[in-house]
Amino acid sequence: MTNVLATNLTALNVAAVPFAIRAEKSSDIAARERLLDACFGEGRHARTCQRLRDGRAPAEGLAFSAVRQGRLVGTVRLWHVDAGGRAALVLGPLAVDSSCREFGLGGALMRAALAEAAARGHGAVILLGDAPYYARFGFTADKMADLALPGPFERDRLLGLELRDGALDGAAGLIVATGAAAKPARADRPRLRRAA
């Protein structure tokens, strides 16, 4: 009985503390990487979708962080791709800290990201994920049958959402990265010599 009460109070306290969703900052990167390691394990870098992100920057204005009491607790980013001849974005990874799940934060991150992608004129978003979760945002396997990822993937997890009707009509072939090159991390940049 006591345990149930304690659990419920903890849940209420977590729910009562507000979250903010904002554009990702460079100072978020270390915490974002720790969150992704915790959610997906270090093997995440070998996943097929990572091939669409290697060495690329996310699409302009489409990297978001969820922050609670100054701590990063959620992340989502979108990336430019060519999806079998159609311009699109690939979404991922989406992750929420395990202490903050089931309060609508994942949904809030998804809706913020999709609304901003639509506002910026993007036509379609593709992802590899669990259909029972992503169906609530409108993702389906429709128009995905003739698309492939650059590596092994489970066909029933390849999902798409048209932000503009017909944006994925006729999409057929390999999904390939088209985003701009990522800027080198600060520590990797050559130091400028100060003039004497």
Cα 6 from Cα 121, distance rounded (Å): 47
Q: Tell the smallest beta-carbon distance from residue 39 to ligand COA (Å).
A: 4
Instruction: Specify the residue, 105 or 124, whose C-beta has the smaller distance to ligand COA.
Output: 105
How near is the Cβ of 124 to ligand COA at its closest, in Å? 18
DSSP assignments along 154-185, one per residue: -GGGEEEEESSTTTTTT--EEEEE-PPBPPPP
The alpha carbon dihedral of 67, 27, 22, 106 has a sign of negative
Among residues 84 and 92, whose Cβ is nearest to ligand COA?
92
Minimum distance, C-beta of residue 181 to ligand COA, in the bound complex (Å)? 26
Task: Please state the closest distance from residue 1 (CB atom) to ligand COA, in A.
Answer: 24
Q: Which residue is nearest to ligand COA (CB)?
A: 106
Strand 95-96 to strand 147-148: parallel, antiparallel, or no bridges (unpaired)?
unpaired
Which of 43, 55, 132, 190 forms a contact with ligand COA (CB under 6 A)?
A: 132
- What's the rounded Cα separation, in Å, for the pair 152 and 62? 26
Q: Does residue 94 interact with ligand COA by CB under 6 A?
A: yes
- Judged by CB under 6 A, does residue 39 bind ligand COA? yes
Q: Is the dihedral of CA 125, 60, 31, 97 positive or negative?
A: negative
Min dist. Cβ of residue 75 to ligand COA (A): 9
* Rounded CA separation 140/123 (Å): 15
List phi, psi (to 5°) of 23.
-60, 140
Write out the E strands in 26-169. 63-68, 71-83, 86-91, 95-96, 124-128, 147-148, 158-162
Candidates 106, 123, 160, 179: give the one binding ligand COA (CB under 6 A).
106
160 lies in the site for ligand COA, by CB under 6 A: no
User: Does residue 90 interact with ligand COA by CB under 6 A?
Assistant: no
156 binds ligand COA (CB under 6 A): no
70 binds ligand COA (CB under 6 A): no
- The reply on whether position 101 binds ligand COA by CB under 6 A is yes
Considering CB under 6 A, how many residues would be counted as binding ligand COA?
15
